[in-house]
A and B are shown apart, each in its own frame.
Chain A
Amino acid sequence: TQLLEQSPQFLSIQEGENLTVYCNSSSVFSSLQWYRQEPGEGPVLLVTVVTGGEVKKLKRLTFQFGDARKDSSLHITAAQPGDTGLYLCAGVRNAGNMLTFGGGTRLMVKP
């Protein structure tokens, strides 16, 4: 079983603060995807990282894939209340499309 562990599970911060969410595994993934999930909705893809060491930016969000493709991080700069939600990482194995999801990080940004 390939596990993806996310940390922290819960994070409550003030507007304007920076934060980092981690996604770690002992297994290698061919790619890693980050999703955001709102209550009552399905996960919505934010980004896919494919190459070891890859960094992608999406406005105030920075995603990094570890050199060994076993871990990833999501950094949010100057968090806003609109960033509140559940952030999920999910890894793809070499073959097929099966996504292995992490347990999620529930972020709350207080105004």
Chain B
Amino acid sequence: EPEVTQTPSHQVTQMGQEVILRCVPISNHLYFYWYRQILGQKVEFLVSFYNNEISEKSEIFDDQFSVERPDGSNFTLKIRSTKLEDSAMYFCASSPGQGHSPLHFGNGTRLTVT
């Protein structure tokens, strides 16, 4: 069964550094998402992406964050200048449609900012 893959599984970075988290969504899916889960807290929506542009974003997704689909298969999340509070699990997801369409999540990237 096709799945969403994320790399790396764990990323350690120093505060102020830029990080890029990578995702390969399921190939025939059209909608892509990033969610994050700070340890012990709820899974939170960051951004959704469709037709090569952001369709929705949360208040968490500020100017430090950006997303890109550079080559038709990868979907990336960039954090320009990481802060300690960016430490979290970052989940990529994709879906074939919107509304009630089920999301398929990757296994996440654990980002640790020191």
B48:A103 contact, CB within 8 angstroms = no
Known: A42-B4, A43-B91. A97 touches B103 (CB 8 A): yes
Query: How many chain A residues touch B (Cβ–Cβ < 8 Å)?
Result: 24
Tell which of B13-21, B66-74, B75-83, B104-112 binds the partner. B104-112
Min Cβ gap B5→A in Å is 11
For residue A66, CB closer than 8 A to chain B, the reply is: no
B56:A98 contact, CB within 8 angstroms = yes
B residues with a Cβ closer than 8 A to A are 4, 31, 33, 35, 41-45, 48, 55-56, 58, 91, 93, 95, 98-108
Interface hits, A77-111 → B, CB 8 Å = 88, 90, 92, 96-104
Residue of A nearest to B46 (CB): A98
For residue A68, CB closer than 8 A to chain B, the reply is: no
A residues with a Cβ closer than 8 A to B are 30-31, 33, 35, 40-45, 48, 50, 88, 90, 92, 96-104
A99:B45 contact, CB within 8 angstroms = yes
User: 6 A-B Cβ contacts within 8 A?
Assistant: A31-B99, A35-B105, A43-B105, A92-B99, A99-B45, A103-B41
